[in-house]
Amino acid sequence: MKKNIIGMAFLLFVIGINAQDSLSVETNKFERIKIDGVAVVVGKNIVLDSDIDKFKKELQQRIEGKIDITDCEMLEELMTQKLIAHHAVVDSIVATDVEVNSEVERNIAYFTQQLGDMEKVVEMYGFNDEEDLRKELYDIQKEQILIRKERESITEKVDVTPEEVRTYFKNLEKENSLPEFSAEIELAQIVKIVKPSEEEVNRVIIKLNEIRKEIEEGYSFRLKAIINSDDPAVSGNGEGAGGKYTITRESGFIKEFKEVAFSLDEGEISEPFESGFGYHIIQVEKIKGQERDVRHILMQPKISGAELQASKDELSKIREQILSGEITFEDAVLKYSEDKETKNNKGLILNPQTNDTRFNLTRMDPTLYGRVSNLKAGEITETYYDEIRGGEKMHKIILLKSKDEAHTASFTQDYEKIQQLTLQKKQEETVDKWAKDKIKDTYIKINEDFKKCEFKNNWKKD
């Protein structure tokens, strides 16, 4: 159990599920290298003294002081992760741009959902601008994908039998250490996206074409961006000021933006094109090897109050049909919902923290918690307005599909969870065995302050 908890805490610590702690550790790593002590070097990877402190705080929050875990145990877990990351590179494991950028977008969406908007995220974590944040998140997520893939390679043949699951549960029972499971819920949604009228879209495209022509005739792109762009960074002083960005193919910009930017010659201005944010034009100011200095103007079609009300009324009518029994919620999802991620999954919402369908009531997004915490299984929220990053507007209804109250683990009720814990334990034992072998031929240097530690594995190579 201790090993499982340490492993889960490390995952939360690095990936950013607990955004404030994990991100602050990673985003300041280059700055902190100058002032921190280096605790350990594993291959080409380092663990800083402050990494251990941050990991300890995260772990204490997760376990609420219920299990005693030493600094040396925490350091060994961090060392194991760095060992896996090192050998992922040695084994030519690849993290593609598509995979990395997908994870970056998922974390950006989670952070903005927690704090309200991107400007607050940038300010909270001390970045100069959004691009700075995205570059750092790109590096973090790339390493985590490499670690995940290497671990999957190490444990791909590991499985557990029902008897192993039963034995594991019985041992926990004998030790009086059965886990406590918090209240969990499953949610499903129907989403109606509020789309601008065709006339409004045409107005935006015509306006962008007019601006494009004026710039080609000599007007300043920078001034046109400041006057016309809906990009909130346009009037600032950092990246994005005056519509200017420096990008590479690895930058965390949306696919459509990069595809157009890297299709243009120096000085060329694009035709208007659409992305999830709205409509853009881009000019490439300078090509510098793998980098490009570009300026863009973003314009978002306006949606009228009448269009918003019509969307709300339409979804409210669908809700009434579900409540009256005219149509099931699942059928209504297939017929009416416009959310690509949930439409073909009976409307089930994935928990962004865990990538499964269950939400821990004590750790879910406060706004979502406020909407569903008082519902009973089978009840549906009123129709409400929502808006995602990029400006896409929508109305939603949410069904509380199921709810499990907080309880001590039961073999019959929680078999799947117990099975997963059993599998995790066996996988960790496999990784430990792998680590014992790899430590022998990996460069490892441990600071004198930590050589007193009694590690499970022979990191000191005595």
C-alpha distances in angstroms, 240 versus 131, 211, 261, 275, 401?
Answer: 8, 18, 15, 17, 43
Q: What is the pLDDT of residue 66?
A: 54
Question: What tokens appear for 210 in the block?
Answer: 């007019």
Beta bridge partners of 288: 291
Enclosing domain of residue 260: 198-299
Cα(260)–Cα(270) distance, rounded to whole angstroms? 7
Question: In this predicted model, what pLDDT tens digit does every residue of 202-257 receive, in sequence order?
Answer: 999 999 999 999 999 999 999 999 999 999 889 887 788 899 999 888 777 888 99
**Between these two residues, 250 and 5, which has the higher pLDDT value?**
250
Residue 94 in any domain: the answer is yes
Q: What is the pLDDT of residue 290?
A: 85
One domain, residues 286 and 312: no
Percentage, residues of the chain above pLDDT 70? 89
Mean pLDDT in residue range 121-129: 77
Residue 318 in any domain: the answer is yes
Question: What tokens appear for 222 in the block?
Answer: 């920078």
One domain, residues 359 and 397: yes
One domain, residues 381 and 415: no
Question: What tokens appear for 59 in the block?
Answer: 């772990």
> What's at 307, amino acid-wise?
E
pTM: 0.61
Out of 281, 299, 317, pick the residue that ends a domain.
Answer: 299
Question: What tokens appear for 297 in the block?
Answer: 């103007």
One domain, residues 62 and 167: yes
Question: In this predicted model, what pLDDT tens digit does every residue of 290-348 receive, in sequence order?
Answer: 889 999 999 999 999 999 999 999 999 999 999 999 999 999 999 999 998 899 999 99
One domain, residues 63 and 92: yes
* Tally of domains in the chain: 3
> What's at 344, amino acid-wise?
N
One domain, residues 312 and 280: no
Q: What is the pLDDT of residue 300?
A: 92
One domain, residues 395 and 418: no
**Between these two residues, 443 and 37, which has the higher pLDDT value?**
443
One domain, residues 9 and 86: yes
At which residue do the structure tokens 């990246």 appear? 239
Long-range contacts of 228-233 (CB under 8 A, 24+ apart): 228/297, 228/299, 229/296, 229/297, 229/298, 229/299, 230/278, 230/298, 230/299, 230/300, 230/391, 231/296, 231/297, 231/298, 232/118, 232/119, 233/129, 233/130
The answer, yes or no, to whether residue 35 has pLDDT greater than 60, is: no
Q: What is the pLDDT of residue 232?
A: 85
C-alpha distances in angstroms, 84 versus 24, 104, 154, 429?
Answer: 22, 21, 10, 14
Question: In this predicted model, what pLDDT tens digit does every residue of 154-212 receive, in sequence order?
Answer: 999 999 999 999 999 999 999 999 998 888 999 999 999 998 999 999 999 999 999 99
Question: What tokens appear for 77 in the block?
Answer: 């877990």
Out of 299, 316, 350, pick the residue that ends a domain.
Answer: 299
Return the CATH number at 355.
3.10.50.40
Percentage, residues of the chain above pLDDT 90? 53
8 Å CB contact between 204 and 278 = yes
Residue 77 in any domain: the answer is yes
Return the CATH number at 237.
3.10.50
Residue 461 in any domain: the answer is no
8 Å CB contact between 365 and 185 = no
The answer, yes or no, to whether residue 14 has pLDDT greater than 80, is: no
One domain, residues 394 and 342: yes
Lowest mean pLDDT among 17-21, 198-202, 342-346, 366-370: 17-21
One domain, residues 393 and 278: no
The answer, yes or no, to whether residue 4 has pLDDT greater than 70, is: no
One domain, residues 330 and 425: no
One domain, residues 26 and 174: yes
Residue 458 in any domain: the answer is no
Residue 456 in any domain: the answer is no
Question: In this predicted model, what pLDDT tens digit does every residue of 64-109 receive, in sequence order?
Answer: 555 567 888 888 888 999 999 999 999 999 998 888 888 887 777 7
Out of 274, 299, 324, pick the residue that ends a domain.
Answer: 299
Residue 232 in any domain: the answer is yes
Q: What is the pLDDT of residue 3?
A: 47
Cα(441)–Cα(43) distance, rounded to whole angstroms? 10
Lowest mean pLDDT among 119-128, 347-356, 426-435, 442-451: 119-128
Return the CATH number at 42.
1.10.4030.10
> How many Å separate Cα 336 from the centre of its chain?
27
Strands 291-299 and 244-247, bridge-based pairing: antiparallel
Residue 45 in any domain: the answer is yes
Mean pLDDT in residue range 425-453: 92
**Between these two residues, 30 and 458, which has the higher pLDDT value?**
458
Q: Give me the sign of the Cα torsion angle 389, 392, 394, 400.
A: negative
At which residue do the structure tokens 């079609």 appear? 301
Cα(450)–Cα(462) distance, rounded to whole angstroms? 14
User: How much is the mean pLDDT over the chain?
Assistant: 85
